[in-house]
Structure 1
């Protein structure tokens, strides 16, 4: 009888166990809530991009790119949101989770390594969606006309594709850095990269505006591809094929590097 009871309890636990998809979604929701409750993450995800948008609208730095300053600024700010969350935010979080053994512990649970990575990707997508809603609404209040130069459906589809490609590329880059260097180095690298990519990396300003020999070189960066892709969608109503190909290449290379050299402890 005890043996039958044990088997019955085991089968009951098995039947009540959550599916892998449910565990991944729960992990993604949990990580997204942790990111949104973190003051530093909110500063990076919402406040700084909003300040960048306001600053560029009231200064002449971006004149000549579009018919109005806000039309020129908004796509770049949305690109900056992707980099803030997928690269800097996720990189820092993963780096310190790795230090404190959180990654090693979660990787041994039924969630598994693949489930953990999938949960992180879902968290990034959720936070980026919230960023787009908040900062897109702020841009609309400032006079942004996202569909002035193209059909709403085509523009929206192109923008979504580039946001997804940007999330894939920059999440992989963030995980590559977080899984190969110390957390303090991850913190320094990702924050410094955020500043450089925002200022001269083609996110807020097109790379060709830098001038000289640096403009063409900077255009090969994933940040420039993301910024140019969103500007092409919103300012020209076109899908920038070269920018999409560039992001796909960066995402593939970074994913390969992270899968090969990522250290869980």
Structure 2
């Protein structure tokens, strides 16, 4: 037997694979941490389910023309995106920055880019779980989505996730943690009531219409309703989400602080 065959076989893992594994491991940690947090779990799942059931079974709030459940479910899906991509991430980033976690992870082998990719992956995973739960409850309540609109709904979800994660990084990366906590939850409540999310802007008082139509919340809610109720794409709403995503990303890149 040759000397070459006696040498132990070594397996070299490509750097790209190691980086991917680090990102996925951090993403799993981020997702499980979010779901184990009672307050964030309340905002991510419990409240959206309560809003869904409440709006389907009440007639005191107008949600538009059509079957009530078909109009409510897409709006609650939009609310789920806002809950995880904006509220949950802003609070997480704010407190991670306060306690120095972001700074430590940023100089670890994961790196700053890897950390941001992990957070984005975790958000998408949590949103997928939320969509499964809300869709399941909706189907039990009689929801009949337009299945041909699912590709358009996916585009809306991805653009909405981008816009709201960028806004979360802008908020969580600039304000103190306590301020982020208060403001993120306040924004969630305001968007729920007046942001055109679960109730279309057309059903809100006329004085709100000019402002609501420009919000990413309304663009996300209306585009998901168009996709899942009418089976239609919404390029105009996608453009609104893209503009918010671009502007918020640019501001976050300029103003984000990795530590207090």
TM-score above 0.5, yes or no: yes
Give the conservation status (yes or no) of the 8 Å contact 2:63–2:203: no
Task: Give 1:67 shift.
Answer: 2.5
State how far apart, in whole Å, the 1-side matches of 2:202 and 2:70 are. Answer: 18
State how far apart, in whole Å, the 2-side matches of 1:222 and 1:16 are. Answer: 40
Q: How big is each residue's C-alpha offset from its partner over 1:158-213, in whole Å with a ceiling of 9 and x where there is no partner?
A: 11111111110001101100000000110111100000001110101111221223
What is residue 228 of structure 2 aligned with on the other side?
234
What is residue 111 of structure 2 aligned with on the other side?
112
What is residue 41 of structure 1 aligned with on the other side?
40
What is residue 197 of structure 2 aligned with on the other side?
203
Question: Counterparts of 1:26-65 in structure 2 under 5 Å?
Answer: 26-63=25-62, 65=64
Question: Counterparts of 1:1-265 in structure 2 under 5 Å?
Answer: 15=13, 19-63=18-62, 65-147=64-146, 152=147, 154-265=148-259
How many equivalent residue pairs?
249
State how far apart, in whole Å, the 1-side matches of 2:85 and 2:156 are. Answer: 13
State how far apart, in whole Å, the 1-side matches of 2:210 and 2:56 are. Answer: 26
State how far apart, in whole Å, the 2-side matches of 1:167 and 1:246 are. Answer: 13
Structure 1 residues 106 and 211, CA gap change in structure 2 (3 angstroms):
same
Moved over 6 A (4+): none
Structure 1 residues 13 and 85, CA gap change in structure 2 (3 angstroms):
same
Structure 1 residues 231 and 98, CA gap change in structure 2 (3 angstroms):
same
Give the conservation status (yes or no) of the 8 Å contact 1:62–1:69: no
What is residue 6 of structure 1 aligned with on the other side?
none
Task: Give 1:15 shift.
Answer: 5.0
What is residue 5 of structure 2 aligned with on the other side?
none
State how far apart, in whole Å, the 2-side matches of 1:13 and 1:37 are. Answer: 37
State how far apart, in whole Å, the 2-side matches of 1:255 and 1:210 are. Answer: 29
Mark the runs of 5 or more structure 1 residues left unpaired by the alignment: 1-11
Partner of 1:202, secondary structure, is: coil
TM-score (normalizing by structure 1)? 0.90
Task: Give 1:214 shift.
Answer: 1.5
Structure 1 residues 121 and 64, CA gap change in structure 2 (3 angstroms):
closer
